[in-house]
Chain A
Amino acid sequence: MKHPLKIKIAVLAGICGVMVILGLSIGSVPLTWSQLLSPEYRLILFIRLWRILLASVTGSGLAVAGIILQALFKNPLAEPYLLGTSSGAGLGAVIATIIGASSACLPLSAFLGAIAATLCVLQLSRIGSRLPVQALILNGVIISIALSGIIIFLISTSPNEALHGLMWWLWGSLQVFDPFLLAVVTIIVVSGIICAYVFSQDLNAVCLGEENALHLGVNTENVKIVLLFVTAIMTASLVSICGIIGFVGLIVPHATRFWTGPNHRILIPVACLTASAFMIGCDLISRSIATPMEIPIGIVTAIIGAPIFLVVFKTKQTGKTRP
């Protein structure tokens, strides 16, 4: 039992390493490795490194957010944007663009929009000091649909040309415009993942149901408040710098659980590895399949993610019915 797990992790780390090397060596400017490492091309090397870092941070952050929500909601379809983060961020960005704010303000307005939408969902679902799961899911879906409606309304009625550029951003992009912002987001996401890892034992207990968790000394309501906050901040900061990237937060937790089992102590770190490899790979495809054009990364993750998800799910199902 133990050894296959170690081998699986080693294989995954290997794939991740290969992805990093590919990510460094492939780009719009064809360069050999010696050129890439020479001082005059240092800038390009850094651009590629940052991009890989962003891909890895985004993938890991979304995957861990998905893991947290799937455990807290005991719902396999939970994903990071469930709490209204994506549509809130989108609306924030659209409003900022319409009122003519500079593009430097975009991440901040998206972040504020995401946080506002999430707070709205949490506040609507709250009964006293409790946060019932069903209410959270329902309110999250309702707020998301309402805000998406407003976004489409604003975009279709506004004559503002800049909004068309925004559409593209809404589908996700891993271009790094500001290394400082990348650093801030990296710090937020890494702290979020560490926090989730610290709570991994609690997440295991919560998977057994809230009452059972209580009998094991885990207060689900407290865990829920801390981890929903962590998820919201992580997702909001990710959405604010790279837009909405679907499927990663849904499929990576499932695929990883399929390999390693649901124990969060193992699941969280392995999911970070898987998500990094997956995102770096998707980013490679997004920028190399139609050079010099770049396909929005959200489209690549959806097109590649959906079949993988179907295969994993199918195998899992047939595996279960086997006597």
Chain B
Amino acid sequence: MNEIITVRDLCGGYTGVPVIHNVSFSIRRGETIGIIGPNGSGKSTLLRLISRVLCPEKGEVLLENRNIRTFPLKEFCRKVAFVGQEAPTEFSFSSREIVAMGRIPHLRRLEPESRNDKDAIAEAMRLTDVLELADREIQTLSAGECQRVILARALAQKTELILLDEPTSHLDIGHQVQILDLLRMLNRRHCVTIAMVIHDLNLASEYCDRLILLHEGRIFRVGAPENVLTYQNLETVYKTVVVVRKNPVSQKPYILLVPREQLCPRN
């Protein structure tokens, strides 16, 4: 049982608007997998089909060889956590209260937090370095702090798989690396499987073991970053000219953009 998630012939999207067409792939236990592709290629939709927000029109998603729809919702949420691109709530919860909500799948209604739950919450906050933000209201946090609190909530769920929808999108480079380093640490040391939609191809290249490149709702390529991030693939999918080089430190591919003006300077 090396695959934690298996996606078979998946089709789906929003009512009447199919976005994903016949997608099949699997997520292996312990890997970090990135879903990349241009805007509208179906990255977020695919993630929402895997996380049970959307119902597939055809095909199925298996979690440990069992259709995800057959899991009771709370049991599913004890196995899969999700970090979305959320706008902070209107309600002024403290950071600790937000993180504590990660324990809801483990608790029956009205069941008070046990020692075990409290430990999970504290551990999640320690790993994401938000302990000193515990009593701060969520609206008063910066984007980077907020993202760490939301990540802590997912960690408090104690799942084997974490799905993330563009975890670094509003962050500056320092905070981007901070979040992704944290995910890598969780992946390596705590054996958490990570699947994320990520816009930034260079970060995807550095931090993911495998990449899925989506194109118009279909899988264009799957594989290691050096096999997926070739200039041929990228130019076909993104319809823009790129130069692919190697990061001198990590030896991973990195992508340079070329303005159109530079391509035909005489015009």
Q: Which residues of A contact B (CB under 8 A)?
A: 1, 71, 74, 76, 197-202, 204-205, 207-209, 211-212, 214-219, 257, 261-263, 320
Cα A191 to Cα B68 in complex, Å, equals: 35
* Interchain CB contact under 8 A, A215 and B92: no
Chain B residues near A215 (CB-CB < 8 A): 51, 53, 77, 81-82, 84
Cβ 8 A contact of A216, one of B89, B105, B139: B105
* Interchain CB contact under 8 A, A261 and B84: no
* Interchain CB contact under 8 A, B76 and A208: no
Knowing A211-B84, A216-B102, say if A204 contacts B97 (CB, 8 Å). yes
* Interchain CB contact under 8 A, B109 and A202: yes
Cα A239 to Cα B43 in complex, Å, equals: 50
Knowing A208-B101, A216-B104, say if A201 contacts B93 (CB, 8 Å). no
Cβ 8 A contact of B89, one of A197, A199, A207: A207
Q: Which residues of B contact A (CB under 8 A)?
A: 51-53, 73-74, 76-78, 81-82, 84, 86-87, 89-94, 97-98, 101-102, 104-105, 107, 109-110, 135, 139-140, 157
* Interchain CB contact under 8 A, B135 and A214: no
Chain B residues near A208 (CB-CB < 8 A): 86, 89, 98, 101
* Interchain CB contact under 8 A, B101 and A216: yes
* Interchain CB contact under 8 A, B92 and A261: yes
Find the B residue at minimum CB distance from A208. B89
* Interchain CB contact under 8 A, B84 and A201: no
Cβ 8 A contact of B86, one of A197, A199, A212, A320: A212
Cα A200 to Cα B104 in complex, Å, equals: 11
Chain A residues near B104 (CB-CB < 8 A): 201, 205, 216-218
What distance in Å separates the Cβ of B221 from its nearest Cβ neighbour in chain A?
A: 29
Cα A257 to Cα B78 in complex, Å, equals: 30
* Interchain CB contact under 8 A, A320 and B139: yes
* Interchain CB contact under 8 A, A212 and B97: no
Cβ 8 A contact of B90, one of A76, A204, A216, A218: A76
Chain A residues near B82 (CB-CB < 8 A): 212, 215
Find the B residue at minimum CB distance from A1. B135
